[in-house]
Structure 1
Amino acid sequence: MKKWSAPATVLLSLYIPPGRPVSDVVNMLRQEASIAQNIKLKRTRDAVESAITSAIDRLVTINKVPETGLVMFCGQNFDTNEFKCYMFSPPEKVTVYFYRTDKQFHTEFLEDMVETSDVYGLLIVERDQGTIGLLRGSRIEVLDEEEGYVPGKHMMGGQSQRRIDRIIEELYHDFLKSFGEKVNSYFLPYLESGKLKGILLGGPGYAKKDFYDSDYLDYRLKKLILLPLVDIGYQGEAGLREMVMKSKDLLKNQKYVEIEDLIEELKYHMAKDDGLVVYGIEEVNKALSMGAVDKMIVYDEGRPELEKIAQEAEKYGTKVYIVGEEVPEAEWVRKTFGGLVGKLRYRV
């Protein structure tokens, strides 16, 4: 699909995240079909209407968006006059709601899903809680959260105390074993497909070391654990983010870490007011034309003018990061800078 192109904006790309009502998307497409009737060139108008109609015809056949979302590409290849319309559920969860008719299909969101060079497993474990996650490109995803019941120490004394201690130890062992089995079920498919490059293991106390020292994990996964183990104070997504940033020396050239570091760098230069932060379409374009923009963050919300700047920036050797709501501080970029901000090599 990436190779298809058209002389006009007639190729439809649609990404629907899970939870979005199908009826809302169909209504949006019907509105777009009404707008398309105003296109002056008949060939272009017919091609856009055909793409939108084909998309609607497929969407009305389903009741609910699948767990990983939906992706749709519809349009005519003007070189061969071939018309195709594909609707499918992708291998990873769609995180953006995106619609566009353009001169090419927007496959970039799918390309992030099939990257095989930077997938890391993330594990946080304590006495009776655990989080399983995945770091892929700029996204941290919580795969599962496990909770057990392991009571604290009792002070009864004598044989009763020893019996209760044994029961607590058994419950603790059972929880770690159950957690390990769940980790194996999630991570082994990534390992066997060659995508899993490493595993971060952290937690607030001694449970992470007990988990690492024992045989709760498949031996192949255990070999991928990156040392040292990480002291983490939280479970869930907040804990996974903390663990990744504490382990950034182990994750060099990893997109999520690079984006978070750049955001911290931007905040530092803003606080110093040293003139090394640039934002606004006109100001960024001017700095780009001078070759002054070192790195740039673009918040992806389907704005063609921002996409054009991102494409132009790469011609000047600028490192461009396209971010969405999956990056924790992306909303800060959108609200503070209108979705576009760069760090300069020198003041202009």
Structure 2
Amino acid sequence: SDEVNKLFLGMEDLQGIFIGGPGPSKEKFVNDESLDYRLREKILDVVDLGYGGIEGIRALIEKIKDKIANVKYIREKQVMQSFLKEISNDTGLAAYGLEEVQKALSMGAVDKLILSEKLDTYHVNITCSNCNYKESRTAREQELNKLELSIQDESCPDCGSNTFNVSGAVLIIEELGSIAETMGTEVIIISPDTEEGEMLYSTFGGIVANLRFKLTY
């Protein structure tokens, strides 16, 4: 148990522990007084298996796969509830929408960046090949081809030529994730399979954040 304590207590994002094995050894381990109480509280299930080793691990994974999915959803609900609490209490420690969250990220203010798994929006870079004028627009994945065709009929707002072209497109979820990584921000991807996950996408556009400090404009 001492080795287990050393190994797992340092894991900040440990959500739960499943224990499995043949015979009474697993119950003996769970009831060992040297097992830290913080780890004991995270034990989600003790599973009886017919054998140990690699085959035992495979059998354990098969038996607990539905429960693992539930742990994921519980974690996602907790993350969204934490964000919604900041919103409802008007603490100033929450941001939502691409522009606001992107600004907060650039200031190093984002503690947790929360993104919807359904987010399929791109930042599309547009360039005039005549005068090198540049601008950026957003478009969903299914709109990219239509946007590319429509841009060819537009005139450059700077030089007036018809040499507008799409020079690149970056998935916003990847763009924000890269910025978050450089800022030491935790990135959490939320599925739409819970009420909170669907709310993230439909109400907040799939992009929200918990902040370390209030933003000043």
Interval containing the TM-score (normalised by the shorter chain): 0.3 to 0.5
Which structure exhibits the higher relative contact order, with contacts defined as CA atoms closer than 8 Å and separated by 6 or more residues?
2
User: Normalising by structure 1, what TM-score?
Assistant: 0.29
Report the TM-score when normalising by structure 2. Answer: 0.45
